[in-house]
Chains A and B, each alone.
Chain A
Amino acid sequence: EVRLVESGGGLVQPGGSLRLSCAASGFTFSSYWMNWVRQAPGKGLEWVANIKPDGSEIYYVDSVKGRFTISRDNAKNSLFLQMNSLRPEDTAVYYCARPGASWGQGTLVTVSS
């Protein structure tokens, strides 16, 4: 069974940083593209970034380019999202997701002074 558990969310001031983590289990993590997806309060789903199994290809939604960095550690079955220069509009629940499979429960990031 695919299991994804996110952590690292919290309250941060505008301009601050957070690092999200996702622990994966139940599948061969090193074989799959992985995503970060977010959902702002009361809004729809927004894909944020993804990374190829070997980390050699990475893509971002335009609104986070230059501020967010996705990475992975296949030896530890872990996915990360380093978020810098955070803005109030980044406030959302962030989900770790394997495309075409189940997601984690998400971690809430709140950017507010």
Chain B
Amino acid sequence: EIVLTQSPGTLSLSPGERATLSCRASQSVNGNYLAWFQQKPGQAPRLLIYGASSRATGIPDRFSGSGSGTDFTLTISRLEPEDFAVYYCQQYGSSPQTFGQGTKVEIK
């Protein structure tokens, strides 16, 4: 089983700042099948990035994904008020598929 470790657990930033979220895998993610999701309270997770770096339909270009193998990053170039939420990474290249524990981006 691939264990995904997200860091930091909480990120305290102000609107307009840059956010950098990390997702590290215990072994290489097959095919770089790594996704990032955003979740707000009471809502279903929203797909942001798939295949490590491809933005999902309708996702603003301030969101970008990068990385390969075992180290992946989600970057939000300039935080908007609606971006404060919890972010999860998921590897779907091998079963069992696994999720990171989440990073909360909160308003400083």
Return the chain A residue nearest B45 by Cβ. Answer: A103
| B residues 36-64 touching A (CB-CB < 8 Å) | 37, 44-47, 50-51, 56-57
CB distance from B106 to the nearest CB of A (A): 16
Q: Which residues of A contact B101 (CB under 8 A)?
A: 44
Q: What is the total of A-B residue contacts with beta carbons within 8 Å?
A: 53
Whether the pair B44, A99 counts as a contact (CB closer than 8 A) is no
Whether the pair A47, B88 counts as a contact (CB closer than 8 A) is no
Query: Number of contacting residues on A, CB 8 A?
Result: 22
Q: Which residues of B contact A46 (CB under 8 A)?
A: 99
Q: How far is the CA of A50 from the CA of B97 in the complex (A)?
A: 8
Q: Residues of B with Cβ closer than 8 Å to A?
A: 33, 35, 37, 44-47, 50-51, 56-57, 88, 90, 92, 95-102
